[in-house]
Chain A
Amino acid sequence: MDLTINGVTQRVEVEPDTPLLWVLRDTLGMTGTKYGCGAAQCGACTVLVDGQAVRSCVTPVESVASAAIHTIEAVETDPVGRKVVAAWVEQQVPQCGYCQSGQVLTATALLKQTPNPTDGDIAAAMVNLCRCGTYEAIATAVRKAAGA
């Protein structure tokens, strides 16, 4: 089937119910998207599907065959994504970094839909787990990115 990822359409030969996560990581070698739980619990695997933050570990690839998929590899090609990354660097958010691809893309999706989020909006959107506990820095960085 054909997938459009970061603006490029490519053909993949996989079982249609394969999670998008593993198509990205193993079939296409795009390892910026992370496997944390495989069960929609952590958000490490978050990608953008038609601008929405989606957990790719539970997204059958066939369900996104006609969608625009964006991954962390292309985050800085998007003006909002660029602001988010800049805020992440400025706030020195990442620790181990493993959850941060998903956090950055979740924040990007939020700010694309809600450019000026309230604290409540941020809390409602930024629900991914971070075992390193960078939650405060994440919330601060989202606010900064919104203001940038």
Chain B
Amino acid sequence: MTNAHHSPALATPVRRPVNLSRRGVLGGALGAFVLGVTLPGGPLRAQGAAATITPGTRVRAFLDIRPDGTVRFRSPFIEGGQGIFTAMAQIVGEELDSDPARFEVEGAPPGPDYLLIGGMRFTGGSMSVRMSYETMRRLGASARVMLLQAAAARLSVPVATLTTEPGRVVHAASGRTLAYGDLAAAAAALPVPRDPPLKAPADFRWIGKPVPRIDVRDKATGRARYAIDLTVDGMLHAAVQHAPRLGMEPGPMANEAEVRRMPGVHSVHTLPGAVAVVASSWWRARRAVETLSVSWTQAKPGTAHAMPADFSSDGHRARLMAASGDGVAYESDGDVAAGLRGAARVVEATYDAPHLAHGQLEPPSALARWNADGTLELWCPNQAPEMFQTAAASVAGIAPDKVILHSPMLGGFFGRHFLYQTANPFPQAIRLSKAVGRPVKVIWSREEEFLRDALRPMGVARFRAGLDAHGLPVALSAVAVGEGATGRWFGRPPNGVDSSAVEGIAGKPYAIPHRRVGQIHIDDPAIIGFWRSVGHSMNDFFYETFFDEMADAGGQDPYELRHRLLANSPRHRNLLEAVADLAGGWRRGPYTHADGSRRARGVAMASPFGSEVATMAELSLRGRTLRVHHLWVAVDPGSVVNPAIVEAQIRSAAALGLSATLVEGVVYSGGVPQARNFDAYPVLPPDRMARVHVRIVESGAKMGGIGEPGLPGVPPAVANALASLTGQHVRSLPLSRAGFV
């Protein structure tokens, strides 16, 4: 997700706590609210009492303090490796005055209390902390005030005479202390205060500190439980075989009777676009379903997103490349046509990037159970509980309040677990569970996952730059061709441009007098989705690599040219200098390193998700063997909650960026993806990882995102370094396709 065209709807108003603590709408009753998501950009409408709930204010919807003082916290955001559970514990714990290490955090159920992203909820767009920071601080502070008030009543002293230290209320005058765990029940009965005092940042004990992550030990000992690990009593296992091309439907199964007799098989089913076997173990189900010989019928004409039998990556790329014209203007400054006409020299180049798979290591799964009371219980990986609840209700044919949705920890996501219709297994689990009258867990094999993942779109960008007599750019025209993920799933502005198709080409800070960014929309025949850093994942590669072509054409050093064009953008210029400093200075090369290798460096800037990033790469080449030795990343997210988590996220994003740069690309031919596992779709292995060096610059600007911003600078920094070494600009990713291995 991105700051898309509906970004105004995503602005977080400052929320004041309201007293709803006595309405008795917690626990099971929460499910009584009927939620309807109106998209794009519309507010989520909650009916009944829910309409009066201000998200992020009702302390009891979030917090239980147990008698032993541990804090159970229901997080509005889902943990998938980005450290959000720890960040929430830090933010709330800071104001509550409770050690984050004493928090047990879980994903919150669907409900109006948790709609903290402008009236909606999802975990994405690098938004979680920045959108909820003030609200979560206030929540923790409210809870602390309630504890203080309960203690004042218990001790019969004025509340003003009390203070707190982690986990307890202190009456300094008498030396008496009361543990939070002993006060929690009394405190919970009190009204939520209106304006709890917040700590001064100078007094922060945990915010801004590298607090250890609360889930690391469980993850190092196999105790962390993901959706794929869950079981319930009486559960059966299911495996599926999808139609080779989306839109085809299962016809007769020649060997169905034989498959029914395979060990452990309970039953064989047809589903929309798939067949399934339900069995006593997943392995038996899988073996049986893959033995089924299914004749698939062709997609009916008009089937939405039916995959054409002749679809190929090469064909689609050629189609995007062939699109002519300047497209719909998204961003414009000066007069680019006049600027190009008046230029001493014009540089042109066209770039492209392939579809990408998420490749999160946990394959998708879903566990469904129909309960005796008519409710449907669902456990499935998801980044947007309310949207999944609504969608599950419609598959099940019941009201949303009858769907009890659990949102387990995610074994990686990178955008994989949004609602993508054909890319989520939960509808299959719901139907199979209904059909067999028992709980069913569906797991997609890795092969099925590669067949049905929602891919990062393919994209092409055409650039024309006009240089003056000194080789300095005076005009830049960019046209992005393709389709953006935000537009696909949340609607495109009529006659407008989906910002996720141009972000990273648009919004660049360089002072070039005549600029225009246009977009030509061409439907992507694949199911596309959000992939870590969304449009930035390719658009910054396009722009920043073309920048170096432009610099070379004008005889300019690429670092110096950036520095010069950022003269009026002190935040960016600082960051560029910071990354050079981190790298021990800018030197483009090629130069000979102490180990004898010929090395060069490349640099790139990016402005993703409210943060600013400058990236530098150093690499060497031996023959066609490319080695990225170092990545230096300077990131300015304004301010940070946990520098250790920020650094880990930058490293993680850099690794994924490097993977996309070097080796990744989905290839379709004849309407089917050629790779169905990691053997044919390589992802970055350990021996191709670079050393990543991170510098966090806290400029004090508005807080930006962290999960994605480390990625976009990596592909162009590496490609630019490669061009420094070879003199050739590679205009297409991954570099392995240009023969660099």
Binding site for B on A (CB under 8 A): 14-15, 18-19, 22, 25-27, 29, 31-39, 41-42, 44, 71-73, 75-76, 85, 88-89, 92-101, 104, 123, 126-139
Contacts and interface: CB of A to CB of B under 8 A. Distances in A.
Nearest to B217: A89
Contacts of B410: 96
A85 B221 contact: yes
Nearest to B710: A133
B87 interface: no
Given A15-B263, A31-B229, 9 more contacts: A34-B411, A72-B221, A85-B220, A95-B648, A100-B219, A104-B221, A123-B687, A131-B412, A136-B691
Interface residues of B, number: 63
A98 B411 contact: yes
Interface in B223-241: 223-226, 228-229, 231, 237
Contacts of B443: 35
B313 interface: no
B678 A35 contact: no
A133 B656 contact: yes
Interface of B: 80-83, 212-213, 215-226, 228-229, 231, 237, 263, 281-284, 359-363, 409-414, 443, 445-447, 644, 648, 651-656, 658-659, 677-679, 683-687, 689, 691-692
A39 B656 contact: no
B221 A76 contact: yes
A31 B225 contact: yes
B282 A42 contact: no
Given A26-B237, A26-B281, A26-B282, A89 B362 contact: no
Given A39-B679, A85-B221, A92 B692 contact: no
Contact of A138 (B82, B361, B686): B686
A96 B228 contact: no
A132 B81 contact: yes
A36 to B, nearest CB: 5
A73 B222 contact: yes
Given A33-B222, A136-B689, A96 B362 contact: yes
The 8 residue pairs across chains A and B that have the minimum distance between CB atoms: A133-B655, A32-B222, A97-B219, A96-B81, A98-B411, A72-B222, A95-B81, A22-B283
19 contacts: A18-B281, A32-B222, A34-B362, A35-B443, A38-B446, A41-B678, A42-B361, A42-B678, A72-B221, A72-B222, A73-B221, A85-B220, A89-B217, A92-B216, A96-B219, A97-B224, A123-B687, A134-B651, A138-B686
Given A35-B443, A92-B213, A96-B360, A132 B219 contact: no
A91 B284 CA distance: 39
Contact of B683 (A29, A129, A134, A138): A129
Contacts of A73: 221-222
B445 A38 contact: yes
Contacts of A36: 361-363, 446
Contacts of B659: 133
